[in-house]
Structure 1
Amino acid sequence: MLNAARGSARWIAVIALTALVTVVPFAASESASAATSDACGARIAKPGGGLWSCSFVDDFAGTRLDTSRWVVGDSATGGFHMNSTCFKTGQNVAVGGGQLKLSVRRTAPFACQVPGGSVPAVGVGGGVSTYGKFAQAYGRFEARVKYPSHTGVGLHSNFWMNPQVRTYGAWPASGEIDVAEWFSGFTGRVYPSLHYTGRTTADSGRNCAVARPDMFHTYTLVWGPTTMQFLIDGALCFARSWTPTDMAAPKPFDKPFTAALTAGLGGGTNAPDARTPNLATTSVDYVKVWR
């Protein structure tokens, strides 16, 4: 997540400024091939040749969350809390109508329980992760997401990825990948970012424009050993190679990462105000991963 709005966000054991970037169509080889299909649908051609193979898919076709694929974020057991948002199992995560619904509710101030103590909170969010269920290094990672319609400050949602094992140490040393991070107060932008030791402002695609993030859009990461490419609705909006200061690339992005989706309250310059809705929902149509 962007440092400016991270607040106290951490998902511990449960689950990252360039000049104007022109949005251009991604390579033609990314187009779908209808000749063959797998669990993710029509096979998609890799930029370097061959076809991607589906390794994970959930289109949320049932009436409840598939716990063989996902774990629900819970601050009391996992420690994850985001800005002034607490997460609780059984709250604000629902599946129905072919969608995953992640909601955040504003509340009166309360003590959010975390391992070893508590932190102050003014809302309860919804979050899911593939931690302990699925992790992969390199490949194509994609979600079709609709963010809330609120355009003032106060809300913060993300499609992001974290290491299954923090091989290189505590955040940010082991890395974090934000595929599509949305701040309600920053209208018309959805941000991809990399977090690692030695990160600079150039590691966030701050000019990835989305005219209507409150409509469904497809957010994609193509993760290779030397470069991350971030697409919105099939168009490349940001590409980045990383240069850690405490290790040699491709570290720390050479280990399996989990996928996560969260909906919570904002922090910093995006903190809630009187106009922030008491209830807001992020909708997810599907999550797919290929190798």
Structure 2
Amino acid sequence: MNTRSQQFHVWQRLAVLIWLFNGPAILAADPTPPGWSLTWNDEFDGKTIDPKKWDFDLGNGFYNYDANQWIHGWGNNELQYYTSDSRNAFLKNGQLHIRVLKESLHNCGYTSARMKTRTRDGRPLFNQTYGRFEFRAKLPTGQGIWPALWMLPQDEKYGPWAASGEIDVLEARGQEPNKILGTIHYGSRWPANAHSGGEYTFPDGGTIADFHTYAVEWEPGEIRWFVDDHQYATKKSWWSSSKTENGQGAKPKTAADLNPWPAPFNQPFYLVMNVAIGGNFLGNPDASTTFPAEMIVDYVRVYEKTDGYEPPPPREKSSLPF
């Protein structure tokens, strides 16, 4: 266990002692992780989803203006249609529920929700460069169910995906409930994109169907992944290039083709939460998959490092794509 983890668990034990003398109301206020200060959060204590914090992606795809074509299935051949309907996303007992229903809508066989903090009515909601991004959630299981807690760039400064990056705090294949993945996507725009990260297997029969705290700590030149404050992966190398050939992303050939380190992870990112169904990553549901399928989020919290951030260390030569 690292020093920061030890400090956090000391705070947890102290909170329990406080609860013994003062009751559960005080325990509900979780301690701030040492070395971090809270900058944004949603505890989902209201009656409805806060429109000042969240907006929704809608539909089953997007228009790719570079290719001048509609990309169905969000580029992954996914089967769900995202809505803002209160049957697919709602608050109950101080928690957010994202619910997947097996129903037909606009030629899709399922409805779900994909929430984001990018903009609403043209105004930014929330984004941040660097920090600790923390979600406490229990996730749905079953063949073809794909829950994810992740981040995307507020502005695609370095070009379309994945040149401007993606940070996956967590994603899971519902048919593998004892395992999660933390991933970063980077490189050039598709198809010259790259990704790396790590995976975590829950010990002692634990699964994603239980509540766990998933977090990423993102600093200049380093990204770390945690489950229940256990650090299971670290990345210190990646690259970004805006180079194109014939209208598509191209692999850089020299250092001059690279964007300045630590691009693309030196720009503001916003939050995304969703449950997708089927597609290339995990396959489609089958007769064993149970619906409705539901992701429940207890809270989302974002922190800044109290003492600020050090400049990034030099780029590791092993991260170069040539």
Q: TM-score range by the shorter chain?
A: 0.7 to 0.9
1:121 aligned partner, one-letter code: C
SS in 2 for 1:178: strand
Q: Answer yes or no: is 1:277 the counterpart of 2:270.
A: no
1:98 match: 94
1:59 aligned partner, one-letter code: E
After superposition, the Cα gap between the structure-2 partners of 1:242 and 1:122, relative to the gap in structure 1 and judged at 3 Å, is farther
Q: Answer yes or no: is 1:234 the counterpart of 2:241.
A: no
Q: Answer yes or no: is 1:160 the counterpart of 2:150.
A: yes
SS in 2 for 1:204: strand
List runs of 5+ in structure 1 lacking aligned partners.
Answer: 1-23, 47-51, 112-119
2:307 match: none
How far residue 121 of structure 1 moved from its aligned partner, in angstroms, is 2.4
Max Rg structure: 2
How far residue 156 of structure 1 moved from its aligned partner, in angstroms, is 0.6
Please give the alpha-carbon distance, in whole angstroms, between the structure 2 residues aligned to 1:245 and 1:134: 24
Question: Which residue, out of 47, 52, 58, partners 1:74?
Answer: 58
2:199 match: 206
1:146 match: 138
How far residue 81 of structure 1 moved from its aligned partner, in angstroms, is 5.0
1:56 match: 40
How far residue 77 of structure 1 moved from its aligned partner, in angstroms, is 10
After superposition, the Cα gap between the structure-2 partners of 1:168 and 1:278, relative to the gap in structure 1 and judged at 3 Å, is same
Question: Which residue, out of 236, 239, 242, partners 1:244?
Answer: 239
Q: Which has the higher contact order (CA 8 A, sep 6+)?
A: 1
Instruction: Output one character per residue of 1:58-92: Cα deviation in whole Å (capped at 9) or x when no partner.
Output: 11111110111111222289779541111112240
Question: Which residue, out of 100, 114, 118, partners 1:131?
Answer: 118
TM-score by length of 1: 0.77
After superposition, the Cα gap between the structure-2 partners of 1:76 and 1:219, relative to the gap in structure 1 and judged at 3 Å, is closer
Please give the alpha-carbon distance, in whole angstroms, between the structure 1 residues aligned to 2:208 and 2:130: 27
1:181 aligned partner, one-letter code: E
List runs of 5+ in structure 2 lacking aligned partners.
Answer: 16-28, 64-71, 120-124, 242-258, 305-322
Higher share in helix: 2
Q: Is the 8 A contact 2:177 2:209 kept in 1?
A: no
1:45 match: 34
* Higher alpha-carbon deviation: 249-258 or 265-274: 265-274
Q: Is the 8 A contact 1:70 1:129 kept in 2?
A: yes
Please give the alpha-carbon distance, in whole angstroms, between the structure 1 residues aligned to 2:161 and 2:143: 26
How far residue 103 of structure 1 moved from its aligned partner, in angstroms, is 0.8
TM-score by length of 2: 0.70
Q: Is the 8 A contact 1:184 1:270 kept in 2?
A: no
Q: Is the 8 A contact 2:100 2:292 kept in 1?
A: yes
How far residue 185 of structure 1 moved from its aligned partner, in angstroms, is 1.7
Over the matched positions of the two proteins, sequence identity in percent amounts to 28
Question: Which residue, out of 49, 52, 71, partners 1:65?
Answer: 49
What RMSD in Å do the two structures reach over aligned CA positions? 2.6
Instruction: Output one character per residue of 1:87-139: Cα deviation in whole Å (capped at 9) or x when no partner.
Output: 1122400001010000111224x53xxxxxxxx52211112111120000001
Q: Answer yes or no: is 1:290 the counterpart of 2:286.
A: no
Question: Which residue, out of 163, 169, 172, partners 2:162?
Answer: 172
